[in-house]
Amino acid sequence: MDATISVICYKSKTLSNGEHPLMLRIAQNGKSKYKSLKISVAAKHWDFDRNVPKSNCPSKDLINKIILKTKLEYQQKVLEKKANEEEFTASSLIHEQKDEIKAMTVDDFYKQLINELKEKGQIGNSYAYLSSYDNLKNFNKGRKLNYTFSHIDVVFCKKFEDWMRRKGNKDTTISFQFRTLRAVFNRAISAKAVSKDKNPFAEFKLSHLNTKTMKRALSKTDILKIMDADCHDKSELSQLAHDLFCFSYLCGGISLVDMANLTPLNIIEGRLIYQRQKTHGNINLQLSDRALQIINKYSDYQKKAYYFFPILHSKRHITPMQKHNRVRKYCLHINHELKLLAKELNITANVTTYVARHSFATILKKSGVNIGIISQALGHQDIKTTQIYLSKFDNEQVDEAMKNLL
């Protein structure tokens, strides 16, 4: 039953990058079985006599670490089988299903994750992870992230934070980068790319970062200034910006991306019913007369483009990437117009589409509306305590709360 465990450079197979895969080889009774380690090396960087990377190999340390880990793992399996007097073959050792860690670099994992998100149409998330990847790469002096997730420990996190601070990043930005990295690490744990006991965020808490930002909500007085503003003599873009801000405020703080994706199918018996693009939470709100007037203003556009507002067009913006890029571009234009309108109305706050959402929640809260109703109207899926305690509210309760807006 003796078996020989080794890791070899499989020269008979050449990959698209010109390198050869590293393979686990288990030899037993004159027969050998192979298993890819999901990593490759150039022939010029491999010592075929000693089955180790040469000293000039760029990934020497990583490869040696993987070789040592893999050999120890399978030698342990053989010892356990012998101790338990269990029969085994080279094939059964390789195909045995356990919680084994698959060797994968951080670089490869990020790229695979980003591509998967793009294929699923989750463009916003893919950009967030791409930002995280680029930031880590800059931290690594522009080099590829050719190390495993076990390299990302508490010491790494502290150095990463110090580096971002030296770059002038504030706590909110640092928190975003770490939250994204933590999400990637958790995905790596689920994919068995790293052991869960290697998770640095069990010790490196993000609570030490001050993520409180200046309040973005407007006073009810300023909101009414914007709502009552006469924009009929302004440009089409300026009118659209004004209409979108008012519509968002009147319709539960609906986000720009959700407004851009609204179609006639989202109105049922005078109610606005849609699924949030970000959280996929379901929203069901009564449309006010003012909100219906805004929708009807763009009825001609709706007939030819299908969407309510002149942002997306059903025949031009088809793929998730096309839609994402279009909304992102329009967001800049809309927010620019809102800043001009705010200046004209002597509103000193930085007015954006997001401010309408924030103002909706804050003004209802100040009016004494139950925070759970506000959470439901906003479509928040992460206020777990509120949702568990208060459960769902009837449409009538939400409709009654909305009367406090004006």
Amino acid present at 157: C
Length of the chain: 406
Question: Which pLDDT score is estimated for 340?
Answer: 94
Structure token digits, residue 279: 């959280």
Structure tokens at 4: 């020989």
The per-residue pLDDT for range 189-238, each reduced to its tens digit, is 998 888 888 899 999 998 888 766 555 678 888 989 999 999 989 999 99
* pLDDT reported for residue 391: 37
| CA–CA dist 339, 342 (Å, integer) | 5
CB contact at 8 A, 71 and 78: no
Compute CA distances 242 → 95, 218, 223, 295, 328, whole Å.
62, 15, 11, 13, 18
If you average pLDDT over residues 301-327, what whole number do you get?
A: 90
CATH number of 220-405: 1.10.443.10
Phi, psi of 45 (to 5 degrees): -105, 10
Confidence (pTM): 0.59
Q: What percent of the chain has pLDDT over 70?
A: 88
Average pLDDT, the chain: 85
Structure confidence by residue, pLDDT tens digits, 126-161: 889 999 999 999 999 999 998 888 889 999 999 999
Q: Average pLDDT of 73-92?
A: 78
> What tokens appear for 30 in the block?
């004159």
* Whole-number pLDDT of residue 102: 64
CA distance 107 to 148: 9
pLDDT band at residue 100 under the 50/70/90 scheme: low
Residue 97 pLDDT > 60, yes or no? no
pLDDT of residue 211: 63
| CA distances in angstroms from 301 to 227, 264, 304, listed in the order given | 23, 12, 6
How confident is the model at residue 266, as a pLDDT?
A: 93
- Over 60: is that where the pLDDT of 390 sits? no
pLDDT at 350: 86
Higher-pLDDT residue of 247 and 215 is 247
